[in-house]
Amino acid sequence: MTISADHTAQEPATKDAQEPAAKETASQPAGQQAGSQDPASEAVRKFGITAEDYMLPARHPIQMVGPDGTLNPHTEQGTQPGHEYGLPSDAELLAAYEQLVVGRRVNDQNSALVRQGRMAVYPSSHGQEACQVAAALCLAEGDWLFPTYRDSVAVMARGVDPVQTMTLFRGDWHGGYDPTEHKVGIQCTPLTTQLLHGVGVAHAAKLRGEDTVVLAMCGDGATSEGDFHEALNFAAVFHLPVVFFVQNNQYAISVPLAHQSVAPSLAHKAVGYGMAGERVDGNDVVALLAVLGRAVKLAREGSGPLLVEAHTYRMQAHTNADDATRYRQDSEVAQWVAKDPLSRTQTYLTGRGLLDDDAADRIAGKAEAVATQLRDGLGEDVPVDPQDLFNHVFSTPTQQLKEQSAMLADELARDAASTATEAGK
Amino acid sequence: MSPTVTTSSEANNNVSAATARAAAKAAGAAAQNTDMTGPQTITLAKALNTAMADAMHADPSVLVFGEDVGMLGGVFRITDGLTETFGQTRCFDTPLAESGIVGMAVGMAMNGMRPVIEMQFDAFAYPAFEQIVSHVAKMHNRTKGAVKLPMVIRVPYAGGIGGVEHHCDSSEAYYAHTAGLKVFTPATVADGYRMLREAIDSDDPVMFMEPKKLYWSKDQVDLAALRAEHAANTERGTSSEGRAAVARPGTDATLIAYGPSIPTALAAAAAAAEEGRSLEVIDVRSIVPFDDETVCASVRKTGRAVVIAEAHGFASVASEIVARVQERCFHHLAAPIRRVTGFDVPYPAPKLEHYYLPGVDRILDAVDDLQWED
């Protein structure tokens, strides 16, 4: 074993040798690193494999259902000792399929609403819906999800109201939902800063003895950011139950993965932090549910953080403001059409007899209802309150903000008065 | 130099000794390490340390973390003894990464904790700038108040200690310019205790700028009275937060300063007094929110003002103060407001810093320029 798991240097040094041992024990942190929590020896004990074999991803990405919708033979799923995955239950699969269909409908409806001028911008996860759905469904109630701006489908799948989710992109406010209500971090555009927030949420929960798991999402380009490194390292050092979920959709706006990293894979980065990594077919919702489900389970059981990289593809441009034909070939996109996450799941579930026409109709109806909700909600012009500029900067507005708020109110009152006068002429 | 300063809050909160002791008892004031009553001479460092210890006793959600804050007690020893007293779950070392420290604190604050984190030196906080500006400052606004971030980022700042480059920056303007951050800077031992307790109590994030050259300045304070004052304020829902203080009363001109410049301003006022000129010294204390009322009341009374700060003058907190006072007190002014600030150069090497720092002579020169002959 070449990976040193010797954490003794991190044991608290006792200033005074006479310091009562009981005090040290009593204050021994739940959230602090300690030799007994060393993930390497834990892996050796639990799975009978070496630390390297635990931390390094399996030699091949995990894939259970291939692009044609047939279940791979167990020996061809990419699993190996210590990296073994069971098939999700029928109920889980059906629930995931329903969310896949809803998610695809949400993506396409939102893109249409942008074209109609009802939203300023929408970063679509078209083609990545399997990742979105699995990220949301692998968590239990009370667990936290930290999404990126492209993860609206995952946010909605956690129960956040679709129209509230779209507030950011509609331009009414920087965020439209209460993160604490559904335990979903607020979407925003800095990259990987939210991973550290997820680490903090997990740390606070662990200090209180709660069994909360955090799933924190980012993309392939984001793994170049400094906060990616800091988040993974903090989570590992404090041994926190965080699953880092990288959707490798091959592009950071226009820049392909080869310009971000020359690591063997993004999942291989895990070993540098002393955590386990895994690769998974990001368009295979069956494999995603299995891999993320196991990662969440291990994290909850105290194995520390894990890193999961999903191979997927951003089927559309970065946003409506982007032109993807400037940096990639149509032929490349066409190859990924054949790997579509929806059609393969549909074929697989139909073949298994889990999805009949009635179920398909019911699911299509549900997706249409969400689309209608989005059209109605975003079609409506909700008046904005200019005083909201000042209302939420601090818990209590400062004197300076009160003065500026009064100034704006006065401007608006004078505008209204002169408009009324004009109208009266 | 150990100025004894009467702040306006001390005047406002004139709690009698008997009430003080009763309130302290009622609040269960729990600090163990400094339970003597009556005046005692302590350093600013000890006052800050005691404030954290008292807050940690009072509220189990208060956590202290950062680089070297655990067994070492911080490079300035401000967190000395906290790990021994409260254990490693409450005061602990982190990996050496400031963005990580601040970002993790954001998540902990989102999830019920009140982190008090240390940036080891002013310039070492810059890796955390994105977390501070894009999230610490904006989360409350972004979520319309659904997420509060009750966290304190302690920043030992400013120069005068002969430090090498990156150890002496006055970085307060970066934070003051960012909407959504409160920016406090104590100058006295009593304010060290009082303002850090208030910062930890704040439901909004506070950049707590500690003048590192004053860490070892001493003053006689009554910690029991300060605790009682805090308990009484908590009970009444009042505080000295956001209030400037009259550090020295005077009648002829106003010196407006904060943090590390307060002792210099007081020395200048003392020297001016010997020449028969009475200077009032205002300690800003809270840069955000800013106490226009106290500052402007003084300038309206004296008609002349000099603003003193170590930071570069261009686009600085000092510039903002001049602009605000001029807008509000123009017709009371007998002369243009002067600034005595650091030059617009990178903070100098130790052998050159005395040329850079606002000193008594430079302040008195500025005062002399306030058109007395008219």
Which of A220, A295, A305, A235 lies closest to A265 in space, CA to CA? A220
Known catalytic residues of B are 167
Give CA–CA dist B180/B177, Å, rounded: 9
pLDDT at A381: 87
Could you tell me if B227 and B253 lie in one domain? no
Which of A243, A149, A144 lies closest to A201 in space, CA to CA? A144
pLDDT higher than 70, residue A231: yes
pLDDT higher than 50, residue A74: yes
pLDDT at A20: 37
Question: Longest Cα pair distance anywhere in chain B, in angstroms?
Answer: 64
Q: Is residue B9 part of a domain?
A: no
pLDDT at B20: 40
Record the tokens describing residue B360, joined without a space: 């008594």
Strands of chain B (E only): list them. 40-43, 62-66, 91-93, 114-118, 152-157, 182-184, 206-211, 218-221, 245-248, 253-257, 279-283, 286-288, 305-312, 338-342
What is the tens place of the pLDDT at every residue in A138-151?
999 999 999 999 99
pLDDT at B210: 98
DSSP state of A13: P
pLDDT in tens, chain B (374 residues): 333 333 433 333 333 344 444 434 433 333 444 556 789 999 999 999 999 999 999 999 999 999 999 999 999 999 999 999 999 999 999 999 999 999 999 999 999 999 999 999 999 999 999 999 999 999 999 999 999 999 999 999 999 999 999 999 999 999 999 999 999 999 999 999 999 999 999 999 999 999 999 999 999 999 999 999 999 999 999 988 999 999 999 999 999 999 999 999 999 999 999 999 999 999 999 999 999 999 999 999 999 999 999 999 999 999 999 999 999 999 999 999 999 999 999 999 999 999 999 999 999 999 999 999 85
Decide if B108 and A201 are in contact by the 8 Å CB cutoff. yes
Contacts of residue B233, defined as CB under 8 A and 6 or more positions apart, other chains included, come to B13, B239, B240
Q: Is residue B4 part of a domain?
A: no
pLDDT at B35: 55
Give CA–CA dist A164/A161, Å, rounded: 5
Q: Is residue B72 part of a domain?
A: yes
Least confident of A231-240, A377-386, A403-412, B141-150: A377-386
Surface of A (194-233) touching B: CB under 8 A: 195-205, 207-208, 226-227, 230-231, 233
How far does the CA of residue B124 sit from the closest CA of chain A (Å)? Answer: 15
Residues of A in contact with B182 (CB under 8 A): 394
Could you tell me if B224 and B250 lie in one domain? no
Could you tell me if B306 and B345 lie in one domain? yes
Q: Residue A44 — pLDDT band, cuts 50, 70, 90?
A: confident
Last residue of one domain, picked from the residues B178, B211, B236: B236
pTM score, whole prediction: 0.91
Percent of chain A with pLDDT over 70: 91
Give CA–CA dist A263/A256, Å, rounded: 14
Could you tell me if B186 and B285 lie in one domain? no
Last residue of one domain, picked from the residues B236, B257, B291: B236
Record the tokens describing residue A307, joined without a space: 């890193």
Q: A305 preceded by cis ω (within 30°)?
A: no
Residue of B nearest to A26 (CA): B87
**DSSP states along A107-165:** HHHHHHHHHTTSSS-----TT-HHHHHHHHHTSPTT-EEE--TT-HHHHHHTT--HHHH
Residues of B in contact with A19 (CB under 8 A): 84
Could you tell me if B62 and B83 lie in one domain? yes
Domain count, chain B: 2
Contacts of residue A255, defined as CB under 8 A and 6 or more positions apart, other chains included, come to A221
Contact call for residues A242 and A196 (beta carbons, < 8 A): no
Q: A248: number of CA atoms within 13 Å, CB side?
A: 20
Which residue among B63, B100, B292 sits closest to A231, beta carbon to beta carbon? B100
A339 in B contact zone (CB under 8 Å): no
Q: Is residue B224 part of a domain?
A: yes
Record the tokens describing residue A401, joined without a space: 């903000």
Burial (CB count within 10 angstroms: exposed 0-12, middle 13-18, buried 19+), residue A360: middle
What is the tens place of the pLDDT at every residue in A1-43?
333 333 333 433 333 433 333 333 334 443 444 444 566 677 7
How far does the CA of residue B363 sit from the closest CA of chain A (Å)? Answer: 29
CATH code where residue B267 lies: 3.40.50.920
pLDDT mean over A142-165: 97
Decide if B127 and A388 are in contact by the 8 Å CB cutoff. no
Residues of A in contact with B89 (CB under 8 A): 27, 29-32, 207
A410 in B contact zone (CB under 8 Å): no
A·B CB contacts under 8 A? 167
pLDDT at A36: 45
Could you tell me if B61 and B193 lie in one domain? yes
Q: Is residue B28 part of a domain?
A: yes
Decide if A234 and B86 are in contact by the 8 Å CB cutoff. no
Could you tell me if B311 and B165 lie in one domain? no
Q: Is residue B5 part of a domain?
A: no
Q: Is residue B373 part of a domain?
A: no
Residues of B in contact with A26 (CB under 8 A): 87
Q: Is residue B85 part of a domain?
A: yes
Could you tell me if B309 and B215 lie in one domain? no
pLDDT at A4: 36
Surface of A (45-64) touching B: CB under 8 A: none
Query: A219 forms bridges with which residues in the sheet?
Result: A247
Could you tell me if B210 and B279 lie in one domain? no
Give CA–CA dist B287/A393, Å, rounded: 16
CA distances from A234 to A94, A372, B99, B103, B109 (A): 36, 43, 11, 10, 16
Contacts of residue A356, defined as CB under 8 A and 6 or more positions apart, other chains included, come to A350
CATH code where residue B182 lies: 3.40.50.970
Percent of chain A with pLDDT over 90: 85
pLDDT higher than 70, residue A420: yes
Q: Residue A326 — pLDDT band, cuts 50, 70, 90?
A: very high
Decide if A15 and B70 are in contact by the 8 Å CB cutoff. no
pLDDT at A63: 98
What is the tens place of the pLDDT at every residue in A171-223?
999 999 999 999 999 999 999 999 999 999 999 999 999 999 999 999 999 99
Q: Which residue range(s) make up the domain with B119?
A: 21-236
What is the tens place of the pLDDT at every residue in A284-307?
999 999 999 999 999 999 999 999
pLDDT at B316: 98
Last residue of one domain, picked from the residues B178, B213, B236: B236
Could you tell me if B148 and B228 lie in one domain? yes
Give CA–CA dist B185/B240, Å, rounded: 13
Could you tell me if B249 and B337 lie in one domain? yes
Known catalytic residues of A are 314, 318, 327
Could you tell me if B190 and B272 lie in one domain? no
Which of A201, A233, A194, A238 lies closest to A216 in space, CA to CA? A194
Tell me what percent of chain B is helix, strand and coil, each rounded to the nearest 5.
Answer: 45, 20, 40
Give CA–CA dist B198/B186, Å, rounded: 11
